[in-house]
């Protein structure tokens, strides 16, 4: 069973560096065969699977969170437009940050099972990856890659990859439970992720948040159950 230290990104004992062709990523070893299959299948179509985000530690996620809470990094609305600094406070600001960034300790990227991927072959000319829905739209820079990837994931379920933040899973939520924005670039390796979902402890999370140097701590702790319901659990 995965430990809470691993699931919350406080430990790196469950991940290691994996390199294969265009893929270079810190992941859970159990995912490596699936990643090879995905990379090979993409290569046959002229794409290069490039992992832009894989394992992320609690401290890395905390740095992202605090930068957004302090206005040092932009907080985006659902349409990916920056929200003007100083217009949101307290719980409203927490909710806005959560739409695009996980609460430290709850990111699926802590698990080593989840990846953000792009088509490395489309990066010629020094294009800077932003991970926006625009990039994955049919006319976007990674449009062709996603038009291949979407049916491939459906046709090859045995490989084990799912999209936990798809348009479909977000639309399936009741508006009042609406959580994370769709992230078609985010893949999850189901066998490892499911074990983490089952073993996750919210009591341990509350203690971790309470003892960390996180911005907006009191607003987070006051709404922790709601955060887990709306932003951490994903509909399957
Ligand atoms: Zn991601």
The CATH number that applies at residue 116 is 3.30.1380.10
Between the CA of 88 and the centroid of ligand 1 the distance, in Å, is 24
Per-residue pLDDT, 12: 96
Cα–ligand 1 centroid distance for 52 (angstroms): 9
Distance 118 CA to ligand 1 centre (A): 11
The 3-state DSSP class for residue 81 equals coil
How far apart are the CA of 116 and the centre of ligand 1, in A? 5
d(CA 232, CA 214): 18
CA of 65 relative to ligand 1 center, distance in Å = 14
Let me know if residue 55 belongs to a domain.
yes
* Domain total in the chain: 1
CA of 121 to the centre of ligand 1 (A): 20
Residue 179: per-residue pLDDT? 63
What's the confidence (pLDDT) of residue 234? 61
Report the distance separating Cα 131 and Cα 64, nearest Å: 15
* 135-144 contacts at long range (C-beta below 8 A, 24 or more positions apart): 135/185, 136/184, 136/185, 142/118, 142/185, 144/47, 144/119
C-alpha 115 – ligand 1 centre gap (Å): 6
Residue at 143 is within a domain: yes
In a domain, 231, yes or no: no
**How far, in Å, from the CA of 100 to the mean position of ligand 1?**
9
Tell me the CA–centroid distance for residue 114 and ligand 1, in Å.
7
pLDDT at 235: 54
**Residues whose CB is less than 8 angstroms from the CB of residue 123 and which lie 6 or more positions away in sequence, other chains included:** 50, 129
Q: Could you tell me the distance, in angstroms and rounded to a whole number, from the CA of residue 6 to the centre of ligand 1?
A: 17
Q: Is residue 171 part of a domain?
A: yes
Asked if 94 contacts 219 with a C-beta cutoff of 8 angstroms, the reply is: yes
Task: Identify whether 24 is part of a domain.
Answer: yes
pLDDT of residue 81: 87
In a domain, 26, yes or no: yes
Q: How far is the CA of 102 from the centre of ligand 1 (A)?
A: 9
State the residue range of the domain holding 190: 4-66+107-200
DSSP-derived secondary structure letter, 82: B
- How much is the pLDDT for 80? 79
* Residue 235 within any structural domain of the chain: no
pLDDT in tens, 6-17: 999 999 999 999
What parts of the chain have a pLDDT lower than 70?
A: 167-179, 234-236
Give the pLDDT of residue 175: 43
């Amino acid at each position: 069973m995965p430990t809470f230290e691993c699931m919350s990104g406080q430990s790196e004992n469950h991940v290691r560096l994996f390199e294969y062709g265009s893929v270079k990523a810190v992941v859970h070893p159990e995912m490596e065969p699936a990643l090879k299959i995905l990379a090979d299948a993409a290569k046959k179509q002229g794409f290069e699977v490039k992992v832009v985000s894989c394992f992320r530690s609690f401290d890395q996620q905390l740095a992202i969170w605090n930068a957004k809470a302090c206005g040092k990094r932009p907080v985006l609305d659902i349409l990916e437009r920056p929200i003007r600094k100083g217009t949101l406070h307290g719980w409203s600001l927490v909710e806005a940050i959560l739409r695009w960034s996980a609460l430290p300790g709850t990111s699926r990227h802590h698990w080593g099972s989840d990846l953000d991927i792009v088509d490395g072959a489309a990066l010629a000319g020094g294009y800077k990856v932003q991970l926006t829905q625009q990039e994955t739209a049919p006319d976007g820079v990674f449009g062709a890659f996603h038009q291949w990837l979407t049916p491939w994931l459906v046709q090859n379920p045995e490989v084990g990859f799912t999209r936990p933040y798809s348009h479909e899973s977000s639309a399936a939520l009741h508006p009042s439970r609406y959580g994370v924005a769709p992230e078609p670039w985010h893949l999850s390796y189901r066998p490892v992720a499911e074990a983490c979902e089952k073993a996750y402890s919210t009591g341990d999370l509350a203690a971790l948040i309470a003892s960390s140097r996180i911005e907006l701590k009191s607003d987070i702790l006051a709404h922790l159950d709601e955060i887990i319901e709306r932003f951490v659990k994903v509909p399957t």
